[in-house]
Structure 1
Amino acid sequence: MTSVELVPSPAPRGVGLEMRVNGREAARLTIPASVRTTDGQVASGGYDSVERDRDSLICLFEARLNEGTRVVLEDRWNPSPEGDSFFVDRTLTIEEAGSTGGVRAELVVDAALSDENADWQLFISGACYNRNDTNLDGLEDYLGTYVQEYRDDRNGHLAVLAYLAGPGLGISLARTSVPGHDTPVSKAELLSGVVVQQSDIGSLGLIPDETGPLRLRAGYPFGEERTFCLDTSGRGWAGYLPVVAGHRAAVQYELRVVPAADLTEAIWSVGERQRLRLRTAPSPLPLPLEELERHRFSLTQQYFRAWTADEDPRRPAGYLTHFSPREGETLGSLIEFGFTGAQSLHALAAIRRGYREGVPLWIKRGRMVNDFFVRECQSENGFAEGLYDTRSRSFVQWFTGILMPFQYSEDEEELRAYLGSQVTEALAPIAKELRGVPGNYTRTMCEAVHSVLLAYEEEARHGVHQADWLKSGERFGSFLLQNQEPDGSWYRGYMPSGEPLTHPVEWFGNGPVEQRSGTIFPIPVLATLHRLTGMPEYKEAALRAADFIATTYVPEVRYCGGLNDTAQLKSVKIDSTGVLFAMRSLIVAYRLGGETRHLEAAVKAAKIATSWLFLWDVPFPVSTLLATGGFRTTGWAVCDAIPAGSYVEDVFLEFVGDLLDVAAASRVPAFVDIVELVINGMQQGTSIPGNMLGYAAPGIQCEGFMTSYWLSAPESTLFSGAVGKVKGDDNDTCNGFVNAAALFGLDAIRETYGTLNLPLIRERVGAP
């Protein structure tokens, strides 16, 4: 049993505190109180007084600043019911107002289990996983520093964690009082980096000290020493409370010792504790799920287009759902299989719903899309193209989503006007090199073929034999078998010949972990082919790939490479999509081979997948789109570690069936709760009658939403989804995968359980 105590101790200035676990010092607070001002003054140190009141420690700190401001911090420390942590209720009071513009307070905790910063594994939800080093060069891949500090509205768990593998102990600092209000940040404040306002948004961070221990730091209001919130330079910014005599502000934190077998279990423990502390509950659905599904499906059907042989001899067909939600007019001319286009995933949804509701037109359209893919998009060796440009009648590569302008223009000035200087400067050199590289992503090919094979199975259930679809799957299966590496892996992308792509490294990865992140995608394809053909080669390849995932990505929490594109820095990055695909592949491998090691790895991946979620509802400035639309962030997943929690997206909906599969196989009932959070949460932001959000039609949901700030320094661009977005905005982009993912995830649950009734499903997976 773990015994944790908090005791006063001497500090260089005043009185500090020590947190001891089983008599051993785990953390120390030598500078528990710090007050900073807009004009650069800092008053910090130990407490002026510490008094015990039964189980409580009442600690006071007074900051007298040169220009006349006087601030008092009162910290009340109390043990938690679990006995492994202490709450601190902090009250900041401005007793006297001087001439400074604003003040902010910090709480600093030194991790005492090791003085070597490199020993610690780090976690901040949606932002920092282990050391953020998937290219294995010993450096942080994104911000370029381990000073990792994030506003509360960028931190889905409202917690930070430092974990030490040797003793199997972590130290976490979490905010347990949910932020209640926020106000807009002005353009002047975005430019200056100094924000003075009455906001309840604080910050939490991990601060390595070059000459001392790793520190955990809480700021109120927020402070980010280095950040991409403003621009690609990484310059910092901070918030301050206006100096008004008599003003009081309060915030609560929990300082905890986290015993855990490894980093994954420590992260899971922090998330589950915060789910309890924040009283996380599913968001109310804006409409019943079936009605929301119908709006999504009907919207997609409005964008179906098929070309006759006279218009284009290839007879393309697809759902052209790439548009601004406000205009509803298709942007560009691309039909994309996999990734943001999700054409065969839409076709699968249409075929399934067509049979379910007896609508032949939907089935016919889905068949036309799949027929175009297997007839025109695939080579004899199984390689598949992902992007067909209906304007030029040719296949193109690499650029979709917000990067689509690179598909149509090589003029840097034109790109700068459309995408802004930051995105253009970051990616134009890479785009120039990519234009000469033929090929496709492993993810894109796998997604397209897997959906075609699932549609083949759906048709077969109804007595229709789509022989060409199965042959297409087998061709691609041969491509996968031929190009699998001896260690069971696949590369991120391939040339049509089957040669793996490794350059440019910003796009295809630097080192084996990044370059071979393509391994997280093929297993469901191979498992489906084994089910349809019985060929043992498919099963053997899938299980070898699962071993590669389980040994390469799972132990050190290095999940990466799920996304195909980027708007900054590098394409292969730590992202929620990467861990979700790893989870899916591992649970499929377990069902295929029955190996316990694959189930154990799937459970670990599932636990990390849940760490990307918001467990609370971010408050939005009252005038913003998300505030007026009643948008709730609970259950939404952060996209990737570069914008971190500033930006959430829809991808998790596609994987809710897989997470339920892990729950059923492992008997972890909490996973069912997470599924409910995701299903309910990710219906937010969908336009419905009575709450259209200014969108063109019902059933539109944007690709992502701004929960905070990212590249938000003012800049005018023709495409509003690129940069200059601020908290409370959508990203002004609707892609095919948004509704395709939502429809697929719910259909996957129906396929297994015959119902979307989660209480009933809880009973079936053995949950209480």
Structure 2
Amino acid sequence: MKNKKSLKNKFLFGLVIMAIFCEVVSSQTIDNIRAEIILKMPGNPGEHFTLNIKNVSRDNTISYLGGNEFPMVVTGTIEESGSNIHYSISLTALENVFFNFKQSVAAGGAVHENCQFLMPGFWYRHNLRSPQAAPSFHTSESWLVREDRLSSPLTGVFDESTGRYFTVLRTDDLKTVAYTAINYGEVILSGENDLGFTGFENQEGKTWLSFGFPYREYPKTYIRKLTLAPPVTSFYELKKGETKTLSWVVKKGRASDFSDFVSQVWTSTFDYLKPQAVSLLYSENEIKRTLSNFFVESYVESEDLNYFSGIHLRTDECKDMGGAEVGFIGRVLLNAFFAHQYAIENGHLEVGKIAAKILNSYLENGFTDSGFFRESINYHTHEESDVYSIRRQSEGVYAILNYLDYERKHGRNHPGWEGRMKKLLSNFLRLQNGDGSFPRKFKDNFELIDSTGGSTASAIVPLVMASKYFKEKEYLKRAEKAGKYLESEVIHKSDYFSSTLDAYCEDKEASLYASTAMYYLALASSGKKHVHYTLLARKAAYFALSWYFLWDVPFAQGQMLGDIGLKTRGWGNVSVENNHIDVFIFEFVDVLNFLSKETAEKRFSEFADVIKTSMFQLLPYPGHMCGIAKTGYYPEVVQHTNWDYGKNGKGFYNDIFAPGWTVASLWEMLTPGNAIEFMKSY
């Protein structure tokens, strides 16, 4: 390319795509495909070329016509197999070029305002639960995003008016991504790159699935929590004579509703990508021994509460920051139970003493005047929250009921703890609304701060457990009432939101908690009720699974997570607001294995094996510290895409993390069958 001539004059729209069909290509087929290419000369703005398409011969070829001087030849095949259409496109450079290619396929003529959208682990419906500063229809009705944002490199559209759906899935083996100095505007990639983009667009009121290579993001790119930035378009260099081959599959089908659509998409994508378990170099016993170091080194005593310091730590120090938190990101009490159990079963006296001191301090000093857990305290800043949450309270009750059950089975009783739990459970009953829901946040005097019911599922689990432990039918009755709310307002509406306490948006944990809650109700029931709750657990499970990665995103050399070999399959994206992956799993592997057995869905147990192996890859121990300062302090905020929680970005962690909950999550996954064993006891 020469500076003296503009690209537009020189190349005269000259792009050719050849497509071979099993049948003659119709004009209708041609009308359902659009394409464009952007060519860039370094130091100059890229030039857009809209490509004209027509059927050129009887041998089933189509051409995206332009002038003979265009510097690329693009050839392709389109093969139709049942409900799938496979696109394979090869781009060959006639001289050195920097390009960005996009193709769009019509979603069956669907009217855009009738459609709901899915980009797994990132976009659900219109993302309208999300704030305006996160990706959503609040900002635009068309979105293109880089593939590594998504738990599957896929976009789907569901037409509610007809029940028809279309998806597009990238089918190449994506192994490389180029490191870039900037992440907005027009960017020439520094080297090899397989990463493209996908999304949906409103074109003249109709929905089109759009996809291409290399990546671009439009109308905004999402760079950190609640921070939208200018769009980005990247350009890949092809030298004269070089070829880049790309492939996608477009699938069409029918679904009864959005939930059915999500389940069908997850199933077909799982079958296509076939994620496999990850090989580990250490055993489950070695993992527990490594994680147990967290119990020792994070232990802190005060004149008030003793606790594991597991929140707001720096990854390069892991020093106590004064934070004691019952649930959510701290999980002090669940870790205390696991430490107690581990100490007894392995003769670890030091860990046993630590667990006892924590539990005793919370029994004596860990409750408010009204009987709620003191949820979150910082002993360095002398700050204590006066706003409480149904999630943290529920997680605290869950931990203590597991502890009491374990102790009872070993001939030890704790009437003081039982009294505390009965008082707290009576508070739960008082908080429950007439429709069965529980408020998200409240004060010690029961004043409601956030009355939305998105966290209702959290309360069901301890209520079911308490109904068995205390032999109190009222608890189960209230759990079932909450279950009806969850069924009608969350699961049937596919409206999973606001379970993550630091965000107001669609999130993974809401669907995971919903599935787990129905699992507990199923275990506590028999006959038709058991079947009913099991099917609801399955319905919510598909939504939870949609957040978990079915593929391995590529990292560039120099991005630590790639350099140490992280495979992202089996890890879960967090929420629309918090666009990173983590190891939030707790009992969900048990739920998947239960559902696999009860519903004969083998994919659940197969993917449970992927999760169970993959999530231990970043276990920090001497010689394998994975960027963490202390052994057993398992990382979180694992940043897998162009997004950061405040520091570092793709391929690294945020500099602040909370190993309190990560240790608890992984430890619980290592103790399978907990709920079933609990229920069997009563």
TM over 0.5: same fold? yes
1:112 aligns to what? 108
Identity percentage over the alignment? 19
The AA in structure 2 aligned to 1:318 is Y
* CA distance 1:135–1:388, shift in 2 (3 Å): closer
Q: Distance in 2 between matches of 1:165 and 1:535?
A: 44
Q: Distance in 2 between matches of 1:541 and 1:90?
A: 57
Is the aligned partner of 1:202 residue 2:196?
yes
The AA in structure 1 aligned to 2:32 is L
TM-score for the superposition, normalised by structure 2: 0.89
The AA in structure 2 aligned to 1:120 is C
CA contact (8 A) 1:156 1:614 kept: yes
* CA distance 1:59–1:278, shift in 2 (3 Å): farther
Which secondary structure state, in structure 1, belongs to the residue aligned with residue 568 of structure 2? coil
CA contact (8 A) 1:49 1:60 kept: yes
Task: Name which of 130, 146, 155 aligns with 2:150.
Answer: 155
1:376 aligns to what? 365
Deviations 1:111-152 (A, max 9, x none): 12532x121121111111122223899x97576223232211
1:339 aligns to what? 328
Q: Distance in 1 between matches of 2:301 and 2:578?
A: 37
Deviations 1:647-687 (A, max 9, x none): 10111245222332333333322111121111111112222
Is the aligned partner of 1:35 residue 2:34?
no
Task: Name which of 656, 661, 667 aligns with 1:733.
Answer: 656
The AA in structure 1 aligned to 2:46 is G
Q: Distance in 2 between matches of 1:550 and 1:395?
A: 38
| 1:69 to partner: Cα distance | 5.1
Deviations 1:54-102 (A, max 9, x none): xxx554435559xx7522221201123xx1111111111222346xxx2
Q: Distance in 1 between matches of 2:246 and 2:586?
A: 33
Is the aligned partner of 1:478 residue 2:468?
no
Q: Distance in 1 between matches of 2:632 and 2:66?
A: 54
2:25 aligns to what? 8
CA contact (8 A) 2:572 2:581 kept: yes
Unaligned runs of 5+ in 1: 11-15, 19-27, 398-437, 503-511, 566-570, 712-721, 755-768
CA contact (8 A) 1:177 1:278 kept: no
Task: Name which of 352, 363, 372 aligns with 2:352.
Answer: 363
* CA distance 1:47–1:637, shift in 2 (3 Å): same
2:9 aligns to what? none
* CA distance 1:662–1:440, shift in 2 (3 Å): same
After superposition, residues 22-171 of structure 1 pair within 5 angstroms as: 29-31=32-34, 33-38=35-40, 39-47=45-53, 49=55, 58-61=61-64, 64=67, 70-80=71-81, 83-97=82-96, 102-115=98-111, 117-134=112-129, 141=136, 144-171=139-166
Deviations 1:394-439 (A, max 9, x none): 5512xxxxxxxxxxxxxxxxxxxxxxxxxxxxxxxxxxxxxxxx31
1:441 aligns to what? 389
| 1:618 to partner: Cα distance | 1.3
1:562 aligns to what? 499
Task: Name which of 594, 599, 603 aligns with 1:666.
Answer: 599
CA contact (8 A) 1:230 1:709 kept: yes
| 1:41 to partner: Cα distance | 1.8
Q: Distance in 2 between matches of 1:702 and 1:654?
A: 19
2:666 aligns to what? 742
CA contact (8 A) 2:135 2:576 kept: no
* CA distance 1:288–1:119, shift in 2 (3 Å): same
CA contact (8 A) 2:221 2:232 kept: no
CA contact (8 A) 2:179 2:189 kept: no
| 1:629 to partner: Cα distance | 0.9
Task: Name which of 367, 376, 384 aligns with 1:387.
Answer: 376
Q: Distance in 2 between matches of 1:319 and 1:140?
A: 36
After superposition, residues 523-542 of structure 1 pair within 5 angstroms as: 523-542=460-479
Unaligned runs of 5+ in 2: 1-20
1:641 aligns to what? 576
The AA in structure 2 aligned to 1:61 is Y
Q: Distance in 1 between matches of 2:73 and 2:505?
A: 43
Q: Distance in 2 between matches of 1:369 and 1:524?
A: 23
Task: Name which of 614, 621, 640 aligns with 2:549.
Answer: 614
| 1:381 to partner: Cα distance | 3.1
After superposition, residues 463-474 of structure 1 pair within 5 angstroms as: 463-474=411-422
Q: Distance in 2 between matches of 1:216 and 1:486?
A: 43
1:182 aligns to what? 177
CA contact (8 A) 1:657 1:746 kept: no
Which secondary structure state, in structure 1, belongs to the residue aligned with residue 256 of structure 2? coil
Which secondary structure state, in structure 1, belongs to the residue aligned with residue 448 of structure 2? coil
Deviations 1:150-180 (A, max 9, x none): 2111121111111123433211111111212
| 1:496 to partner: Cα distance | 0.5
After superposition, residues 400-479 of structure 1 pair within 5 angstroms as: 438-479=386-427
TM-score for the superposition, normalised by structure 1: 0.79
Q: Distance in 1 between matches of 2:57 and 2:612?
A: 48
Q: Distance in 1 between matches of 2:500 and 2:467?
A: 27
The AA in structure 2 aligned to 1:182 is V
1:544 aligns to what? 481
| 1:724 to partner: Cα distance | 4.2
Q: Distance in 1 between matches of 2:367 and 2:355?
A: 18
| 1:547 to partner: Cα distance | 0.9
Task: Name which of 384, 395, 407 aligns with 1:396.
Answer: 384
* CA distance 1:658–1:30, shift in 2 (3 Å): closer
Q: Distance in 2 between matches of 1:6 and 1:439?
A: 65
Which secondary structure state, in structure 2, belongs to the residue aligned with residue 112 of structure 1? strand
2:240 aligns to what? 245
Q: Distance in 1 between matches of 2:346 and 2:330?
A: 25
CA contact (8 A) 1:156 1:616 kept: yes
CA contact (8 A) 2:24 2:58 kept: no
Deviations 1:722-746 (A, max 9, x none): 4242221122334210111100122
Q: Distance in 1 between matches of 2:222 and 2:281?
A: 31
Which secondary structure state, in structure 2, belongs to the residue aligned with residue 608 of structure 1? helix
Is the aligned partner of 1:258 residue 2:275?
no
Which secondary structure state, in structure 2, belongs to the residue aligned with residue 574 of structure 1? coil
1:573 aligns to what? 505
Q: Distance in 1 between matches of 2:53 and 2:96?
A: 22
2:29 aligns to what? 17
Which secondary structure state, in structure 2, belongs to the residue aligned with residue 217 of structure 1? strand
Deviations 1:476-516 (A, max 9, x none): 110010111000001110110112113xxxxxxxxx7xx22
* CA distance 1:261–1:369, shift in 2 (3 Å): same
CA contact (8 A) 1:93 1:246 kept: yes
Is the aligned partner of 1:222 residue 2:215?
yes
Which secondary structure state, in structure 1, belongs to the residue aligned with residue 653 of structure 2? coil
2:540 aligns to what? 605
* CA distance 1:576–1:7, shift in 2 (3 Å): farther
How many matched pairs?
Answer: 645
The AA in structure 2 aligned to 1:471 is G
Which secondary structure state, in structure 1, belongs to the residue aligned with residue 491 of structure 2? coil
CA contact (8 A) 1:705 1:729 kept: yes
| 1:43 to partner: Cα distance | 2.0
Is the aligned partner of 1:271 residue 2:266?
yes
| 1:286 to partner: Cα distance | 3.6
